[in-house]
Structure 1
Amino acid sequence: SRLLVEHISLLRVAYMDVQKQYPFETVAVCVLPNHIHAIWTLPPDDADYSLRWRLIKTKFSAHFPHAENLSASKQRRHERGIWQRRFYEHTVRD
């Protein structure tokens, strides 16, 4: 899928909306055709990466129809078939 790069402006809007609501600093971000890598600095005493990613994915995905060939599991979770379910978080200490 090339959805992310073909609709980069929608991704930017979703990203910035979440960043305003739940502040974080973007140290680096790399948007590839079908996934994203990001390095963030979150506010002190706030480690909720999951909330931020969930909101970014939800806001971006809202612009697209559900895929026709979704598994029953994805249908139950109201997924659109755009994103993988999990993300991989790694803490950089220094």
Structure 2
Amino acid sequence: MTTPAAVADRVAAILGGSWKASPGPWKSYGRLDARDADTYTLDVDNHGELCLRANLDPSGEIASFREVHTAEGIKAVTEAVADAIRQHHTSADQE
């Protein structure tokens, strides 16, 4: 079973550098932190989708991803989450 916390661990590895992941209780969510960056949270919403949020972004959800059941699907979602964080982080720096 892949939890939001496990996805956050994989995303932190992809982002590299100072990115770190930490799990929520029962691994129900994953938090991603880096120096000079917003804190990002991955959790599952009421529709069963993995949601990415930035704590300082008032608009709420940055991206959502449907549940996947294959190793290839999990890898694709993990890479998509990393890309969404990169894009959000870059656009936040330009404001």
Task: Tell me if both proteins adopt one fold, taking TM over 0.5 as the criterion.
Answer: no
Length-normalised TM-score, structure 2:
0.29
TM-score normalised by length of structure 1: 0.29
Which structure: larger Rg?
1
Higher RCO (CA-CA < 8 Å; seq separation 6+): 1
